[in-house]
Each structure stands twice: as structure tokens, then as C-alpha cells.
Amino acid sequence: MGRKIFSALIVIGLTLAFSVSAASSQESFYKGKTIRIIVGFSAGGGYDTYARVIARHLSKHVPGNPTVAVENMAGAGSLISANHVYKVAKPDGLTIGHFIGGLFLQQLLEKPGIEFDARKFEYIGVPAQDEFMLGIAKASGIASAEQLMAAKTPIKLGGVSTGSGTDDLPNVLKATIGLPVQLVSGYKGTADVRLAFNSGEIQGLSNSWQSFRATWRKELESGALIVVLQETLTAHPELARVPLAINFAKTEEAKKLIRVVVQVHGPTVRPLALPPGTPKDRVQILRKAFMEAMKDQELLAEAKKASLEINPLDGPQLERGVGEIFALDSALVARLKEILK
């Protein structure tokens, strides 16, 4: 009996020693280092705002408390940054990409310029699961979905790029329910779209409610921007009276196409990802630190003040969600290629 207890104590002692050694190794790696979060859009937009809030609180949850800095690498609807994280960034656990998850669908649709395989990124998680809405300028004279659908002249919407919910959702709604819109794409981010909106260059945009609340607060509160349509599968509780776009669909195929694009730009749309080949122990460290940060009372207080919704998914859940995108029915993929080309 004494030998068994002695053996058990040795095992416990070795386990504790290993744990202490592993923790010490993790701390020694990150101590004095800088983690960069590379945001695929310009400063001032929703992705940038989320990244900067996360950056201010992530460090205290990473062993060694490294500095966390945000860099903007805007262009091509965040494709430039996604390619950079995949191909150029060192897989050392010091570079995190924050680009639009709609690019995963674009890979499936074989969009030119994609130089990554979404299934090979190492995923940390998402801070929020987006719910896209269509916002229209009050100055357009349109204040409801019914008025929009009856519009004789297409409404100009600002967009970022194919692969973004600013573009993909209006395009699929135009093809499936006859949404009368004209997309003016190519802006570097929703902050730039907001400038164009306020100057009268465009009359609206498709954007997440999370981003609207955080970075379009002035336009919403003044009534200059009116949310007329929900590009979601279920109504947001704050917008219960605003109709769902999918309810205007008259065929089952139309509903399936809308549902697919809505899902792509929902749970997987704000990924935090590491380059392929990042050591698994560092992936786990950052996954754990991220989820701890999502419960951090100081982060939650700052997010609330900035009207940022925190509704996270962890790394494994995000990884599964990305995998589901690549399991789409081939007929739907072919139709989406026509719509989102």
C-alpha cells in the first residue's frame, strides 16, 4: 500500500513539475515580445474597433504579458491581410490576423487572388457573431422595406469587396428577391463608407448591427440612417419590427441561397486566426487567453461603453464552422458563383 501511495506521489510530483516547467516555458517565450493583430480594414471601422478593444486586454491573460499592438493592412476587402497572414507572417504565435470570414466562401467559389486555404489557419475565435442589416439614408425618402422594394430607381449602396457582407448580401438579395440596389464597391472599410454616406455619395449600406451600433451611432441616433431590412435568419430583439429579407423570397432555392450567405457572414465573419504551422502549444495559449479576455470585466465594460456586442465563439467552434462552409452542396456553389462573381 505504501509503495502505491509513494508511486502516486511521484506521478503527481512529476505532473506538477511538468506543468510548472511548461508554464515557465510559455512565459519565457512571450515575455518581452509583441503580438501583432493585423486588421484587414482601415482604422475606425468595426473590425478595427473590436481588435483594439481586444488588444488592450489580451496581454494580461497571456503568460509573460506581452505587448499587444494593432496594425491596419487594408485592401481588397481584407484579402491582402489574409494572404499576408497565411503566406508571409511567421508561424510563431506573434501574428494574429483579423480579416473578414466571408473570404472563406470566396475560396470555395474560386475567387482569383486568394492565396490561402482557410482549412489550414489556426483559429483563436471570434469576439462577436454578426447580424447584418440594410441601412438606408433618410434623405432618400425610403423608411421601410416595402418602400425600398417598390423603388423605381436603384439605391446606391457602399461596399468594400466581394467576400464582405457589405457586398455579398446585397448581391444575393438582388438576385433572389429583386432588391433594387446598385453597389458602389471598393471602399477600404466601413469607416470610408460612412464618409461617403455622410457626403451623399451613397445612400446606404449592408453592415452588421454590431458595427452599426459601435461606429454609426451618430447616424442612427440622429435618424440619418434607417435600418429597413434584416439580413438575418431570426429577428434581432432590438429590431423586432424590421422585416427579414428572407421572408421576401418566393422560392425554396432563393431561401437556401440567402440562408447560406447569411450563415457565412454570421458566426464565422470576425475570425482571429494564426498562420498555418503555428506551434500547437501557442495556439492553445492564445485560445485560452482570448476566451478569458472575453469574460474580462474591464473588457466587457469598455465594449459596453463603445456599444460593441460580445458574443464569442472559441477556436474549435470557429474551426468547425469554417469546415461546414466547405461542405456546401455543389449546385448551390455553382449558383453562388454566378451571383457573387
> How confident is the model over 165-178, as a mean pLDDT?
96
Instruction: Report the C-alpha gap between 89 and 110 in whole angstroms.
Output: 23
Q: Are residues 287 and 125 in contact, defined by beta-carbon separation less than 8 angstroms?
A: yes
271 vs 24, 78, 214, 312, CA distance in Å?
29, 12, 18, 10
Provide the percentage of residues in the chain whose pLDDT is more than 90: 78
Please measure the distance between the N-terminal and C-terminal CA atoms of the chain and give it in whole angstroms: 72
Interval 228-265: pLDDT, tens: 999 999 999 999 999 999 999 999 999 989 988 998 89
The alpha-carbon radius of gyration of the chain (Å, integer) is 22
Q: Are residues 128 and 154 in contact, defined by beta-carbon separation less than 8 angstroms?
A: no
Instruction: Report the C-alpha gap between 165 and 152 in whole angstroms.
Output: 24
Interval 277-327: pLDDT, tens: 999 999 999 999 999 999 999 999 999 998 899 999 999 999 998 998 888
Interval 82-95: pLDDT, tens: 999 999 999 999 99
| Alpha-carbon 62 to chain mean position | 22
Give the CATH number of domain 132-264; options: 3.40.50.1970, 3.90.1510.10, 1.10.1740.10, 3.40.190.10.
3.40.190.10
Instruction: Report the C-alpha gap between 167 and 240 in whole angstroms.
Output: 24
* pLDDT for the residue 17: 46
Per-residue pLDDT band for 20 (boundaries 50, 70, 90) equals very low
All 3 cell numbers of residue 161? 469587396
277 vs 21, 34, 120, 141, CA distance in Å?
23, 19, 8, 53
* pLDDT for the residue 8: 53
Provide the percentage of residues in the chain whose pLDDT is more than 70: 92
Name every residue whose Cβ is closer than 8 Å to that of residue 277 and which is 6 or more positions away in sequence: 91
pLDDT surpassing 80 at residue 23: no
Name every residue whose Cβ is closer than 8 Å to that of residue 60 and which is 6 or more positions away in sequence: 296
Interval 45-94: pLDDT, tens: 889 999 999 999 999 999 999 999 999 999 998 999 999 999 999 999 99
Q: Rounded to 5 degrees, what angle do the CA atoms 14, 15, 20 make?
A: 95
pLDDT surpassing 60 at residue 24: no
Does domain 21-129+268-330 fall under CATH 1.10.3720.10? My reply is no
Residue reference for cell 447560406? 260
Q: Where is average pLDDT lowest: 15-19, 159-163, 184-188?
A: 15-19
Name every residue whose Cβ is closer than 8 Å to that of residue 54 and which is 6 or more positions away in sequence: 37, 68, 127, 272, 290, 293, 299
Residue in 306, 257, 131 with CA at minimum distance from that of residue 206: 131
Boundaries of every domain in the chain: 21-129+268-330, 132-264
pLDDT surpassing 50 at residue 21: no
**21-129+268-330 and 132-264 in the same fold:** yes
Per-residue pLDDT band for 4 (boundaries 50, 70, 90) equals low
